[in-house]
């Protein structure tokens, strides 16, 4: 993080979320009640107003009123990670894709396992919808926030999109 990192904490149906960003956009989103929770860095400045659009859009998403986030993002990663995360944003609301299909979308036909690993490193879950990626057989596999959270997000989207979610 840079010296210009800012943060806020918001409530959500999934518990407390820590949002971190810089002058360019959101860099990280942490669910604070999981093993991947993160303490606030003392170098960060709390700046709730900086994150008002993110708060509003997350609230609208959880209410079923928002399908696509329109926020400035600045996830940090390798060129390959950024390509995978961009491909995740192309999975439509209420739909799913397999790790293999994501690998194919970025021209990496045999990269399903690597896509799975990169998916698990997504610094902006929910906003970059890694929860929409499932196993080739349609099973709910691997999710950094835990499979119950993944199922919750898929069911939320299914309930508001008219599509049936797995499980």
Which one of the listed residues 29, 127, 130, 156 is annotated catalytic?
130
Q: Which two tokens stand for residue 145?
A: 């926030």
Question: How far is the C-alpha of 14 from the C-alpha of 74, rounded, in Å?
Answer: 23
Please name every residue paired with 68 in a beta bridge, in sequence order, or none if there are none.
none
Q: Which two tokens stand for residue 162?
A: 């008219």
Please provide the size of the chain in residues.
167
Answer yes or no: 130 catalytic: yes
Kind plus residue range of the DSSP H or E element containing 18: strand 17-21
Indicate which residues carry an active-site annotation.
130
């Amino acid at each position: 993080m840079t010296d210009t990192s800012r943060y806020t904490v918001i409530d959500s149906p999934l518990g407390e979320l820590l949002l971190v960003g810089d002058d360019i956009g959101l860099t990280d989103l942490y669910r604070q009640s999981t093993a991947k929770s993160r303490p606030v860095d003392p170098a960060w400045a709390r700046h709730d107003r900086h994150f008002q659009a993110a708060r509003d859009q997350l609230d609208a998403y959880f209410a079923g009123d928002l399908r696509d986030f329109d926020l400035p993002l600045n996830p940090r990663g390798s060129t390959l990670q950024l390509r995978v995360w961009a491909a995740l944003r192309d999975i439509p609301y209420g739909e799913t894709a397999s790790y293999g299909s994501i690998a194919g979308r970025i021209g990496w036909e045999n990269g399903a396992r690597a896509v799975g690993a990169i998916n698990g490193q997504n610094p902006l879950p929910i906003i970059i919808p890694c929860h929409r990626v499932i196993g080739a057989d349609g099973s709910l596999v691997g999710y950094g926030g835990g499979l119950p959270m993944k199922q919750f997000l898929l069911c939320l989207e299914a309930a508001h999109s008219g599509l049936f979610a797995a499980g």
